[in-house]
Amino acid sequence: MDWTENNNGNYVAEDDDYEKIPVFIDKTGQWRGIREERITEFGYATAEEAMSAIEKNQVDFVRMRVRADTTDWSPAKKGGLYRLRHDQIITVKQAKSGSW
């Protein structure tokens, strides 16, 4: 793969299916890659280590998860509101009395 550094200091390459794979530094200082809306399970100390692991298929890509404590309230399908908090769903509904 040919990796190109972009203006943000991240690296981008294309796989055999022409899917762009960015490698970036996360908030913890670890280098990670993204492929098909999945992120590398583990971070790497350097961009080169992350890129090498991706090229050699020595990395697992997992579904990205939003930090639970940063999720805002959203409308629930059956009425009321819900949000994620510490990996659990909290739901509130308004009672007939008008109280929540």
CA distance 73 to 81: 6
Question: What's the predicted TM-score (pTM) here?
Answer: 0.63
DSSP string, 18-36: --EEEEEE-TTS-EEEEET
Instruction: Going residue by residue through the chain, which has 100 residues, state the pLDDT in tens, using 9 for 90 and above.
Output: 899 999 999 999 998 888 899 999 998 899 999 998 899 999 999 999 999 999 999 999 998 765 555 567 888 888 888 887 767 788 888 888 887 7
Q: For position 98, what pLDDT does the model report?
A: 80
Q: For position 69, what pLDDT does the model report?
A: 54
